[in-house]
Amino acid sequence: MKVLMIGSEPADYAIAFANGVAAHGPLTLVLPRARFADLRDSLDPKIDLHLMDWPRHRSLTNPAFLWRLTRLIRREEPDIIHLLSNTALWLNAALPFWRPVPLLTTVHDARLHPGDRDTATLPAWSPRLIVRQSDDIVVHGEGLRQQALEAFSLPPDRLHVLPHPAMPRYAELARARGLRPRPRGKFNVLMFGRIFAYKGLDLLMQAEALIGDDVPDLSIVIAGRGDDPHDLSQMMGQSARYDIRHRFIPDAEVAQLFLDADMVVLPYREASQSGVLPVAATFGKPVVVTDVGELRATVEPNDMGLVVPPDDPGALAAAIVRMARDDALRARCGEAAQEWAERVVAPPIVGAEARRLYARIVQTA
Give DSSP secondary structure letters for 284-297: T--EEEES-TTHHH
- Tens of pLDDT, residues 108-131: 876 654 555 555 456 677 888 888
The mean pLDDT value for 237-265 works out to: 95
Would you call 298 exposed, middle or buried from its count of C-beta atoms within 10 A (0-12, 13-18, 19+)? buried
Residues making up the chain, counted from first to last: 365
Q: What is the mean pLDDT of the chain?
A: 91
Say which residue, 116 or 139, is predicted with more confidence.
139
**Strand 136-139 vs strand 103-106: parallel, antiparallel, or unpaired?**
parallel
The mean pLDDT value for 99-112 works out to: 84
Residue type, 320: I
The mean pLDDT value for 311-336 works out to: 97
Say which residue, 365 or 20, is predicted with more confidence.
20
The mean pLDDT value for 245-264 works out to: 96
Going edge to edge, which strands form the sheet with 136-139?
A: 48-52, 27-32, 3-6, 80-83, 103-106, 136-139, 159-161
The mean pLDDT value for 260-286 works out to: 92
Q: What is the pLDDT of residue 308?
A: 97
Domains of the chain: 3-165+346-364 (3.40.50.2000), 173-343 (3.40.50.2000)
pTM of the model: 0.91
Residue 226: C-alpha distances to residues 98, 121, 246 (Å) = 36, 14, 7
Express as a percent the part of the chain with pLDDT over 90.
Answer: 73
Express as a percent the part of the chain with pLDDT over 70.
Answer: 96
3-state SS assignment for residue 134: coil
The mean pLDDT value for 97-118 works out to: 76
User: Rg of the chain over CA atoms, in angstroms?
Assistant: 21
Q: What is the pLDDT of residue 153?
A: 80
Say which residue, 244 or 119, is predicted with more confidence.
244
Asked if residues 302 and 337 have their Cβ atoms less than 8 Å apart, the reply is: yes
- What sign results for the dihedral spanned by CA atoms 49, 55, 61, 66? positive
Going by pLDDT thresholds of 50, 70 and 90, the confidence category of residue 335 is very high
Q: What is the pLDDT of residue 119?
A: 55
3-state SS assignment for residue 253: helix
End-to-end Cα, the chain, rounded Å: 14
Q: What is the pLDDT of residue 118?
A: 52
178 φψ region: left (φ > 0), alpha (ψ -120 to 50), beta (else): left
Which residues, at least 6 apart from 149, have a Cβ–Cβ distance to it below 8 Å? 156, 159
For residues 276 and 298, give the distance between their C-alpha atoms in angstroms, rounded to a whole number. Answer: 12
The mean pLDDT value for 267-271 works out to: 87
